[in-house]
Amino acid sequence: MNSIVPGTLAPRTKTGTTSAARVGVGGPVGSGKTALLEQLIPRFIARGTNLAVITNDIATKEDAERVRRSGLIAPERVAAVETGACPHSAIREDPTLNMQAADDLEAKFPGLELILIESGGDNLASSFSLDLVDYWLFVIDVAGGDDIPRKRGFGVLTCDLLVINKTDLAPYVKTDLPRMVREANEVRGGRPVLLTNCAAGEGVDAIVEHLAREVLFDR
């Protein structure tokens, strides 16, 4: 922790001297947040990232159970937070439950490098507190309509990385995808936007690379 090796990559031990990167995954109901987790998990595990997951649901542990059952990750590495009424309060106004869950995971799994935190499905205004996460993604999907970026939701505008999911559905829902991407770039002033099809895993490698570069710093 104290060693600074200027100009080089300091060797990083798997025993974990630094705390894990915390990355939020937010977005409207059904946009594919859990589907994205299910695509990210095997990829991070394959590249050797020591990983855990937290899911938030309003009144159940539905998403956590789904990820636990998926067989993609050891079930004890998946923690569930029940948020009560407002999903966004647990990731923004009062993120203590999630911070606690993340601290618990770090204590339980020494050397943890990354914690992915899925928020409960919410609206376009939801956002993560930077007290909770180091970096956050906002997942919208083409079936929600190509006018979503134009509507300038706070989440769409301020997230670190905007993910436009379900690209495979564009032809069926009459979404002008190039226009959606262009407007997303416009409203975000050029900050990153990536496209995925989480049904097939397309575009997910780029997200893994992006997160590795922006928060893991392990290569």
Partner 1 sequence: MLRLTEIIGTASEPHIAERLHSLSHRGAVEYVTLRREDTSRKRLHVFTDRGTEGAIILDRSEQLANGSVLLLEEQRAVVVRLEEAPWLALEPRDAAAALELGYFCGNMHWKVRFVGEYLHISLQGPRADYLERLSHLIADGRVSVVGNE
Separate counts of helices (H) and strands (E) for the chain: 6, 7
Burial class of residue 25 in the structure, from the number of CB atoms within 10 Å of its CB (0-12 exposed, 13-18 middle, 19+ buried): buried
Residue 151: closest CA among 111, 127, 124 = 124
Q: Taking CB within 5 to 8 Å according to partner kind, which of Mg ion, partner 1, ligand GTP, none is near residue 3?
A: partner 1
By CB under 6 A, is residue 127 in contact with ligand GTP? Answer: no
By CB under 5 A, is residue 160 in contact with Mg ion? Answer: no
Q: Which span sits near ligand GTP by CB under 6 A: 33-41, 75-83, 90-98, 184-192?
A: 33-41
Convert 30-62 to b/e letters by CB count within 10 Å (16 or more is b). Answer: ebbbbbbbbbbbbbbeeeebbbbbbbbbeeebe
By CB under 8 A, is residue 85 in contact with partner 1? Answer: no
Q: How many other β-carbons are positioned within 10 Å of the β-carbon of residue 191?
A: 14
Q: Taking CB within 5 to 8 Å according to partner kind, which of Mg ion, ligand GTP, partner 1, none is near residue 214?
A: partner 1
Tokens 């609206």 belong to which residue? 123
Tokens 């970096």 belong to which residue? 135
DSSP 20: P
By CB under 6 A, is residue 201 in contact with ligand GTP? Answer: no
Q: Which span sits near Mg ion by CB under 5 A: 56-64, 128-136, 144-152, 197-205?
A: 56-64
Q: Which span sits near partner 1 by CB under 8 A: 35-43, 57-65, 123-131, 170-178?
A: 123-131
Shortest Cβ 174–Mg ion spacing (Å): 25
For residues 152 and 145, what is the distance between their CA atoms, to the nearest angstrom?
13
Q: Taking CB within 5 to 8 Å according to partner kind, which of partner 1, ligand GTP, Mg ion, none is near residue 77?
A: none
The contact mask relative to partner 1 for 180-219 (x = CB under 8 A, - = no) is: ---------x-----------------------xxx-x--
Give the binding-site size for partner 1 (rule: CB under 8 A).
32
For residues 133 and 211, what is the distance between their CA atoms, to the nearest angstrom?
13
By CB under 6 A, is residue 169 in contact with ligand GTP? Answer: yes
By CB under 8 A, is residue 172 in contact with partner 1? Answer: no
Residue (34 or 50) nearer to Mg ion, CB: 34
For residues 187 and 168, what is the distance between their CA atoms, to the nearest angstrom?
23
Sites of contact with ligand GTP (CB under 6 A): 27, 29-35, 63, 121, 165-166, 168-169, 197-199
